[in-house]
Amino acid sequence: MSQMTYSEAIVSAICEEMRSDPRVVVMGQDVELFMTDAKTRQELGPARIRNTPISEAGFIGAGIGAALTGLRPVIELGCSTFLYSAMDQVVNQAAKSRYMFGGQANIPLVIRAPVIYAMAAAAHHSDRPWGLFAQAPGLKIVVPTNPSDAKGLMKSAIRDGNPVIFFEDASIAEQRGEVPEREYAIPIGIADIKRVGCDVTIAALAGGVHQTLEAARALQDEGVSAEVIDVRTVVPLDRATILESVAKTRHLVVVDPAPGMCSVASELAATVAQHGFYSLKSPIVRITAPDVPVPFSPALERSMFPTAAKIVTAVREMCLRS
């Protein structure tokens, strides 16, 4: 094992894939500056690490074209909300081309989309749009929450034959963790049980996983055993792991830093309500952000997102009801 930050693990995965597969190329704004060091840039060459103009529709479109002709581009966005400027390219071209060409064309494209929130970045830069893009059939959606998962999932994303949006939670970018030194990849579409428990299932996404683990430790002191599931990939969604856990614990709390309307939290709750209803001993609880634009004020913004305290309170109330 070696110690890496979340961001370092992602870059490490990309560089290793570039060394092993000459088809992997990197494009995006200022990627030469912040993705690799000078030695790595020299090793991999300027033809495979390309700075682009500030035109998301242009360079994502170029990445789609490169993927159609046999390359495996990794597109770097400075912020996930910049996806909106390339909505037609992402949702109409990348997501639909394989289907519309009758399976004759693959789009092995990865879009790195840092998610910036709880950092006073104001409304234009602070969305958490994994649920929005999950509604575009043809895209795979990945949201890792620690360095080891980030590296393993990035490797799988690059090797996949479909377009993958790789959402990176900027709030944990500098979090350090152990990363295997051996070659490994984590399959897309499998959730991870971060903590085993028997009293309540808490399914969480992105930075909400870390708040949930903190809450689970506090609940343990109160005699409540929480099972924490890191959703990890939104599309495809690992419904089976969550349903199996709820069948054991009989309770479900869903934690998602995105707004609640039409969210991943809503999909998880609907899945259990439809397929695991008779396992439940209390109503499902969703802990999400409110359906409002993110304010610039740090004090106001901090109050929007799931916290360990909110999760503990929700679980206490659930236990009292049941």
Rounded to 5°, angle at Cα 28 from 26 and 31: 75
Nearest to 196 by CA among 224, 228, 242: 228
Strands (E), 108-211: 110-115, 140-142, 164-169, 176-179, 192-195, 200-204
Instruction: Tell me the Cα Rg of the chain.
Output: 20
Of the residues 125, 210, 251, 275, only one is catalytic, namely 125
| CA separation for the pair 165, 188 (Å, rounded) | 12
Helix (H) or strand (E) holding 232: none
| CA separation for the pair 312, 283 (Å, rounded) | 16
Nearest to 157 by CA among 303, 298, 24: 24
Mapping DSSP to helix (H, G, I), strand (E, B) and coil, where does residue 257 land?
strand
**Residue 251 falls in the annotated catalytic set:** no
Q: Catalytic residue positions?
A: 125
